[in-house]
Amino acid sequence: MAHILDERKGQVSVAGANVATIDCNKASLAGSVSQRACVFCGSRVVLYPIVDALHLIHGPIGCAAYTWDIRGSLSSGPELHRLSYCTDLQEKDVIFGGVKKLYEAITELIELHKPKAAFIYTTCIVGVIGDDVEQVCRTIEDEAKIPIIPVQAPGFQGSKKDGYKVACEAIFRLVGTKSKPETPAKSINILGDFNLAGELWILLDYYKRMGVHVNATITGDGRVDDIANAHNAALNVVQCSGSMNYLAKMMKDTYNIPSMRVSYFGIEDMSDALYDVARFFKDDEMMDKARELVKEEFAKLMPQLTWYKERLTGKKAAIYVGGAFKAISLVKALRLIGVETVIVGSQTGTEEDYDLIKKLCNEGTIILDDSNPVELSHFVKEKKADIFIGGVKERPIAHKIGLGFCDHNHERKEPLAGYEGMINFAKEIYATAMSPVWKFTK
């Protein structure tokens, strides 16, 4: 029996029998081997897809090295975001301060790349050694006439989720700084899609077919000028709510832009994401087009999904992902192809997310917040899961136990959003569940 640390017992729950609210939203326990990263990571992953901005990390080298080109966030234009810049602080900088180096680094990189804006991430020791990064940014902003935005992200100042908030604050500094005259009335901002494997482009096509204008995409394939004009949209459509709810809230408070929460994973949630937008604009023609689109996509999709469902029915899945809202969509998507979910966990879920998961899942499903290898490896064996859906750090847990694995993390190379994403998802689950190699692991 795996050891569940006393302090973590409230973060492990079961659907059905146990109705108590799960403990979540807390700092990871020291020594627990959490699968989470840190504040810096949260801010970095959210801002990363802004492709025409300079991203410079002020700190020692590690944080920059480990986040170089890590997201599969595609760009339709510049690829400045894929470069990893760092002040690479040395011992003497720690002693004497790193601001001069920072100033020089930012100015030389602006000369080199002429970015539309710069994000300056500060990591653990920068606050401790007392570098006034805000002042450096202001100085260069005056000289270079582009936004230079400090992203105060020392890893210890909370969890990955707190990093999302830091990123939202950084983005919010851009919002409202420019107005494009031509923003149409029925326009939306897409928040919380990061264009992994080109997923955003699938969504843009759907909204275009419905006659919806997409104003800013935040941050997938993101552009500084579009974000600056984001305040002119009529609606914020928010996915991955953990990372972007805070931005939506600030935009509501300041610019009175309403927001709605959607998910693009699985066909039910995908269809709702389209219908809800049409409903918001109270536009019958838009709604008709949405229905037409869904009908068309369903016609292509359903025969294929039925084929997979016939073959996958009875398989059991474990899910452990970053955000719980995504986990909810995954439970539904798996159901469509006959796969029952027996474990659901996330790094950053909220009480509401977990309550929803409890209602959605079958009795006995294990629900985990901020879990670790000891617990995950124990529960996948106990619940006899066949397939694990997670990220890089979960993969060896699945493979060493002989479970199939589906990568649903930010490095993925196949789009899993939208209707075509659903087919890719089914294909991947099928490929991992049905591989003949498992006969050697029994």
User: Which CB, 253 or 440, lies closer to other proteins?
Assistant: 440
Beta-bridge partner residues of 235: 188
Round to whole Å and give the CA distance between 269 and 117: 35
User: Which CB, 33 or 434, lies closer to other proteins?
Assistant: 33
- Work out the number of other CB atoms within 10 angstroms of the CB of residue 81: 24
Q: How far is the CB of 150 from other proteins (least distance, A)?
A: 10
Tokens of 339: 């796969």
User: Which CB, 218 or 318, lies closer to other proteins?
Assistant: 318
- Residue 132 CA: distances (Å) to CA of 136, 368, 389: 7, 40, 42
Among 344, 326, 334, which residue's Cα sits nearest to residue 394? 344
Among 120, 114, 166, which residue's Cα sits nearest to residue 139? 120
User: Which CB, 87 or 365, lies closer to other proteins?
Assistant: 87
Q: How far is the CB of 85 from other proteins (least distance, A)?
A: 5
User: Which CB, 39 or 233, lies closer to other proteins?
Assistant: 39
Q: How far is the CB of 108 from other proteins (least distance, A)?
A: 6
Give the DSSP H/E element, type plus range, for residue 260.
strand 259-261
Identity at 123, one-letter amino acid code: T
Q: How far is the CB of 440 from other proteins (least distance, A)?
A: 8
Q: How far is the CB of 28 from other proteins (least distance, A)?
A: 5
Round to whole Å and give the CA distance between 192 and 247: 10
User: Which CB, 15 or 89, lies closer to other proteins?
Assistant: 89
User: Which CB, 125 or 262, lies closer to other proteins?
Assistant: 125
Round to whole Å and give the CA distance between 258 and 311: 43
User: Which CB, 362 or 435, lies closer to other proteins?
Assistant: 435
Tokens of 249: 């809230």
Q: How far is the CB of 54 from other proteins (least distance, A)?
A: 10
Contact 334, 269 (CB under 8 A): no
Which distant-in-sequence residues (6+ apart) come within 8 Å of 82 by Cβ? Answer: 69, 75
Q: How far apart are the first and last CA of the chain?
A: 21
Q: How far is the CB of 122 from other proteins (least distance, A)?
A: 9
Query: Given the structure tokens 């998910």, which residue do they identify?
Result: 263
Contact 126, 154 (CB under 8 A): yes
User: Which CB, 85 or 281, lies closer to other proteins?
Assistant: 85
Q: How far is the CB of 153 from other proteins (least distance, A)?
A: 10
According to DSSP, residue 60 is labeled -
SS3 for 234? coil
User: Which CB, 174 or 380, lies closer to other proteins?
Assistant: 380
Dihedral sign (CA 177, 183, 189, 190): negative
Q: What is the dihedral of CA 271, 409, 57, 231, to 10 degrees?
A: 10
User: Which CB, 50 or 110, lies closer to other proteins?
Assistant: 110
According to DSSP, residue 101 is labeled H
Tokens of 14: 């079961």
Q: How far is the CB of 404 from other proteins (least distance, A)?
A: 14
State the pairing for strand pair 12-14/366-369. antiparallel
Q: How far is the CB of 81 from other proteins (least distance, A)?
A: 13
Q: How far is the CB of 246 from other proteins (least distance, A)?
A: 19
Among 89, 17, 325, 392, which residue's Cα sits nearest to residue 191? 325
Round to whole Å and give the CA distance between 391 and 412: 9
